A and B are shown apart, each in its own frame.
Chain A
Amino acid sequence: MQADLMLNPKIERMKRKKKLKKDILENWQVYLMVLPALVILIWFRYVPIYGLQIAFKDFSLIKGITGSEWVGMKHFADLFSTGQFLKVLRNTLLINVYRIVFTWVLPIILAIMISECRSLPYKRVAQSISYLPHFLSWVIISAIFMNLLSLDTGIVNILISRFGGKQVIFLSEPKFFRSILVITEAWKNTGWSSIVYLSAITAIDASLYQAAAIDGASKLERIWHITLPGIKSTMVFILILRIGNALTNDVEQVLMLYNPMVYETGDVLGTYLYRIGIGQMKYSFTTAAGLFTSVINTILLIGANFFAHRIGERGMW
């Protein structure tokens, strides 16, 4: 018995090795399948991570990534001594707080309204139309909103002057810019984001509503006590995803809508990194700024996920 037990691990290990070899050989076709994708993944996603070292170096195109000289934390020190970066960071955070609040709530309301609609064809049409803007590019959406907001010819300014107000050049006013970002995003994504909630609502047991109706619950009470709790975990999940991305903006959106006149309120990390990185070719400095924000972003994501599990909800992993 004793000797057997002593021997066992060795035999087991050998057996396992043999089986592993057999499994790998049997699956060579599968490995062949993933090979091209894996090469692309490693080259375009992991080599750049190795390239992050230029944040601590004075990168020169001639010397290359490995050959450039180390400068320690110099670029990070620069980052915080120039007021620009902090301003951009503040803009990003503020804009995202507005985004999280509004563009999180609107799809929930829309989903409930759609589910309360009695006429099936009407509901279908409304849904299809509400998803459509999601598929338009930011270039097109910016064109659409520039048209709506233009002086004299845009509907918004036409209405303003009809009611006796003074026309506004909305896209050049720093105080309106953040609202414009939130509104355009809501326009693009509210319908699309409501899909997830709608499917959660359809999954709610219909007998709950009947029982509540028989007990005399009003419609509003039924929405409040059955529908909302039924989609609560989806709501939390989406909110956590959003908080985890609180430093990320749709660069294209801001790039299409902003201009130097609204930089003070509208310049965000993505556009700032683009301008100093690609535009001014400050490679090391930009990488430092990018690394700083992606570290914070990763912490936010992990934190949000941890919190989700803590309160007993589904996280991202």
Chain B
Amino acid sequence: MDKKYSNKIPRGRDEAVIEWVSNLTLAFVIVICLYPFLNIVAKSFSSEGPIMAGEVYLLPKGFNTVAYQIVLGSSRFWKSFESSVFITAVGTLLNVTLTSFVAYAISRKNLPGQKIITILYIFTMLFGGGLIPTYLVVTNSGLYNTLWALIIPGLVSPFNLILMRNYFYTIPESLEESAKMDGAGHFTVLFRIVIPLSLPSIATIALFCAVGYWNEYFGALIYISNRAIAPIQIYLREILLNASDADLNNMDLIMTVAQEAVRGATVFVATLPILLVYPFLQKYYVQGMTLGAVKE
């Protein structure tokens, strides 16, 4: 389109400049976002000499997989991995289900109490009990040192709720009315009509939740003192502070490898699940994000 015009209108000299600035900026962004990650991965496959000499940049030097043998051979790594898989799977499922239940309720404009429920949720965005009172309630509920402490208290975030409600608003009421005429109850309407029509928004919220659970650190720090069930980020942090904590069974292997390599390997393995789901969900989240932001 611009090419056609450029014959008639003198193309401003700044046009080409801005195009180059844009291309260079994006190149810069790509490098800045990728290099730090690729570098740590390259180190995880490198041997101690080149790492300590500062010779590893984008590609591994002295390629070996000892660090991965240490990480994947560690029973604590797998236990924490298991905990994280549990809170991510169960948490996401519960969170999305309950969020869609409440979003369905508050999107009924003539439901008695609909306003009160909405206000109850929005108010928590403005004011809350804060760290200690919440901590006391959670620990007094018998959740201390259980993975449920990382799931139940945070179910249904007001942000996701509003996002989903806005999406539910876009579903034509006539669809639901005709279903109700045929004798469908609210559960049927929700599961057969509303949810299937809202998959982009539900996928977005599921992604937010899943990433949130996988990355959970602070909650685990304060509610879980039993290291046997601590999720992966807690374990990861311990490795970062002291790589020889990785596994005591493999002491002889540890001697042969740089701490940096063990750290890099742990980082890579813990990020892998996110990298794997990323491309699949990418097409949804931009759509879902912008919908929530532009609405109202």
Interface residues of A (CB under 8 A from B): 20, 23-24, 27, 29-31, 33-34, 36-38, 40-52, 54, 65, 109-110, 113-114, 116-119, 122-123, 125-126, 128-133, 135-140, 142-148, 150, 152-155, 158, 187, 190-191, 195-196, 199-200, 203, 210, 213-214, 216, 218-220, 223, 234, 251-252, 255-256, 273-274, 277-278, 283, 286-287, 290-291, 294, 298, 301-302, 314, 317
Q: Which residues of A contact B83 (CB under 8 A)?
A: none
Question: Are B155's CB and A40's CB within 8 A?
Answer: yes
Question: Are B130's CB and A290's CB within 8 A?
Answer: yes
Question: Are A145's CB and B5's CB within 8 A?
Answer: no
Q: Which residues of B contact A136 (CB under 8 A)?
A: 215, 271, 274
Question: Are A129's CB and B19's CB within 8 A?
Answer: no
Q: Is the interface of A mostly helix, strand, loop or mixed?
A: helix
Question: Are B5's CB and A213's CB within 8 A?
Answer: yes
Q: Indicate if B187 sits at the interface (CB-CB under 8 A).
A: yes
> Which residue on A lies nearest to B216, using beta carbons?
A137
Which of B51-59, B85-93, B169-177, B248-256 participates in binding chain A?
B51-59
Question: Are B40's CB and A144's CB within 8 A?
Answer: yes
Q: Which of B21, B117, B236, B278 touches A140 (beta carbons < 8 Å)? A: B236
Q: Which of A133, A137, A199 touches B217 (beta carbons < 8 Å)? A: A137
Q: Indicate if B12 sits at the interface (CB-CB under 8 A).
A: yes
Given A110-B29, A219-B14: A30 and B186 interface contact (C-beta under 8 Å)? yes
Given A129-B33, A137-B217: A298 and B127 interface contact (C-beta under 8 Å)? yes
Question: Are B290's CB and A51's CB within 8 A?
Answer: no
Which of B64-72, B118-126, B195-203 participates in binding chain A?
B118-126
As a 0/1 sequence over residues 24 to 44 of chain B, the CB contacts with chain A under 8 angstroms (1 = contact) are: 011101101111110110010
Given A36-B98, A52-B133, A139-B217: A128 and B293 interface contact (C-beta under 8 Å)? no
Q: Which of A31, A65, A131 touches B136 (beta carbons < 8 Å)? A: A65
Given A52-B129, A114-B26, A147-B36: A220 and B18 interface contact (C-beta under 8 Å)? yes
Question: Are B37's CB and A38's CB within 8 A?
Answer: no
| A138–chain B nearest beta-carbon distance, Å | 7
Q: Indicate if B23 sits at the interface (CB-CB under 8 A).
A: yes
Which 6 pairs between the two chains have the least Cβ-Cβ distance?
A48-B129, A51-B133, A137-B215, A290-B130, A48-B133, A218-B12
Q: Which residues of B contact A116 (CB under 8 A)?
A: 18-19, 21-22
Q: Indicate if B142 sits at the interface (CB-CB under 8 A).
A: no
Q: Which residues of A contact B14 (CB under 8 A)?
A: 218-220
Question: Are A317's CB and B122's CB within 8 A?
Answer: yes
Tell me the count of chain B residues lying within 8 A, CB to CB, of chain A: 97
Question: Are A153's CB and B54's CB within 8 A?
Answer: yes
Q: Indicate if B218 sits at the interface (CB-CB under 8 A).
A: yes
Question: Are A33's CB and B102's CB within 8 A?
Answer: yes
Q: Indicate if B289 sits at the interface (CB-CB under 8 A).
A: yes
| A135–chain B nearest beta-carbon distance, Å | 5
Docked CA distance A273–B135 (Å): 12
Question: Are A155's CB and B130's CB within 8 A?
Answer: no
As a 0/1 sequence over residues 84 to 125 of chain B, the CB contacts with chain A under 8 angstroms (1 = contact) are: 000000000000001101101100101111000100111010
Q: Indicate if B141 sits at the interface (CB-CB under 8 A).
A: yes
Q: Which residues of A contact B120 (CB under 8 A)?
A: 38, 41-42, 46
> Which residue on B lies nearest to A51, using beta carbons?
B133
Docked CA distance A142–B16 (Å): 39
Question: Are A54's CB and B267's CB within 8 A?
Answer: no
Interface residues of B (CB under 8 A from A): 5, 9-10, 12-15, 18-19, 21-23, 25-27, 29-30, 32-37, 39-40, 43, 51-52, 54, 56-57, 98-99, 101-102, 104-105, 108, 110-113, 117, 120-122, 124, 126-138, 141, 152-156, 185-187, 190, 211, 214-215, 217-218, 221-222, 233, 236-237, 240, 260, 263-264, 266-267, 270-271, 274, 278, 282, 286, 289-290, 293-294, 296
Other than the given A38-B102, A219-B12, 4 more pairs (CB < 8 A) read: A27-B111, A218-B15, A234-B293, A283-B136
6 A-B pairs with CB atoms under 8 Å apart are: A48-B129, A139-B215, A147-B40, A147-B263, A195-B286, A287-B132
Question: Are A195's CB and B267's CB within 8 A?
Answer: no
| B222–chain A nearest beta-carbon distance, Å | 5
| A87–chain B nearest beta-carbon distance, Å | 19
Given A34-B117, A128-B282: A40 and B110 interface contact (C-beta under 8 Å)? no
Docked CA distance A135–B215 (Å): 8
Given A132-B33, A220-B18: A277 and B127 interface contact (C-beta under 8 Å)? no
| B172–chain A nearest beta-carbon distance, Å | 19
Question: Are A125's CB and B30's CB within 8 A?
Answer: yes
Question: Are B108's CB and A135's CB within 8 A?
Answer: no
Question: Are A48's CB and B36's CB within 8 A?
Answer: no
Question: Are B9's CB and A213's CB within 8 A?
Answer: yes
Given A29-B185, A140-B270: A287 and B133 interface contact (C-beta under 8 Å)? yes
Docked CA distance A131–B101 (Å): 30
Question: Are B23's CB and A277's CB within 8 A?
Answer: no
Q: Which residues of B contact A37 (CB under 8 A)?
A: 98-99, 101-102, 155-156
